Structure 1
Amino acid sequence: MSFEGSTLVDWTAFTQARSLLGAGFVRILGYFREDGVKSVASIEAAMRSGSAAAMVLPAHTLKGESRQFGAEPLADLAEVIEGIARDCVETHDTPEEAMEHVARLRPLFEATLALLEREANPIVERRPVVNAGVGGFGRRPGQFGRA
């Protein structure tokens, strides 16, 4: 499944999380980054070792934390991996079925995190600059004197 051209973040949920978390938002987003990096690495390591049981908790963690920030495609992918891993634990099977999902996890996590961090950065200009430098500070382009 390709996410190109689709939305990686539910911006309404993101805005709600930002409002609810207030001043702690950037710090909590930093925890998401740290936990997410660890979770993705743990899931990949569990896949390499064929351990479904070792995949369950990091996938579950990534799913929940992703939903908190409105990262629905990432949460959905983590949920699929978690479901496969749980089924494999129940049936005492190895998680080969999760391979294609795990292969998509890191690029999706990195793309989603980049969007979240860009939006959370207070220094980033969010409005497009039209005719920058034309008209001077506080003036519309082509306007002279008082507005």
Structure 2
Amino acid sequence: MAIGAAELVDWGVFARVRAELGSGFVRILGYFREDGIKSVGQIEQAIRDRSAAALVLPAHTLKGEARQFGAAPLAELAEIIETTARRCVEARETPDELIEQVVELRPLFDATLKLFDREVNPIVERRPAGGGFGRKPAGGFGMAQR
């Protein structure tokens, strides 16, 4: 699932949710981060344990929360994991067919979080290279060039 950064988040949905949540937005986004880290870890453990039943709830949680913030590719991948795991439970099969999707999950989640962080805290990405406040510029600011 090769997805470009521009396609990871529907910024219209993100902006709408940000406006609706107002001052609570950053707190709720923090819950998404915490819950997502926990869900991804539980999904990875469930696939290691070959437990389809243990995949369902964390995938369902991640799907809903990702959708809320406009992270459609993440939500879609979590939904594939959830629905396939449910089918495996009903058929009493191991979820081995989901290994590839579970391997894709953490990098997609991390990339999505990075975009959210950049949007919420743009200063993180704007630090000047090779200097910053209080550092002497390379050209010798205020000094005559020879």
TM-score, structure 1 length as denominator? 0.82
Structure 2 SS opposite 1:82: helix
Quote the offset at 1:34 in angstroms. Answer: 0.3
What amino acid maps onto 1:91 in structure 2? A
Say whether the 8 Å CA contact 2:88–2:94 is kept in structure 1: yes
Aligned length: 126
When residues 94 and 125 of structure 1 are mapped into structure 2, their CA distance, relative to the original with a 3 A threshold, is: closer
Alignment of 1:14-53 (within 5 A): 14-53=14-53
- Counterpart-to-counterpart distance in 2, 1:53 and 1:124: 39
- Percentage of identical aligned residues: 66
Compute the RMSD of aligned alpha carbons: 1.5
Partner of 2:69: 69
- Counterpart-to-counterpart distance in 1, 2:89 and 2:39: 18
Quote the offset at 1:117 in angstroms. Answer: 1.5
Partner of 1:108: 108
Bigger fraction of residues in helix:
2
- Counterpart-to-counterpart distance in 2, 1:89 and 1:125: 44
Structure 1 SS opposite 2:8: coil
- Counterpart-to-counterpart distance in 1, 2:118 and 2:5: 18
Deviations 1:14-68 (A, max 9, x none): 0000011100000000000000000000000000000000000000000000000
Say whether the 8 Å CA contact 2:60–2:78 is kept in structure 1: yes
Provide structure 1 residue ranges, at least 5 long, that are not aligned to the other structure: 127-147
Partner of 1:92: 92
Quote the offset at 1:118 in angstroms. Answer: 1.2
TM-score, structure 2 length as denominator? 0.82
Moved >2 Å (runs of 4+): 122-126
Provide structure 2 residue ranges, at least 5 long, that are not aligned to the other structure: 127-146
- Counterpart-to-counterpart distance in 2, 1:71 and 1:5: 11
- Counterpart-to-counterpart distance in 2, 1:116 and 1:43: 22
- Counterpart-to-counterpart distance in 1, 2:106 and 2:125: 28
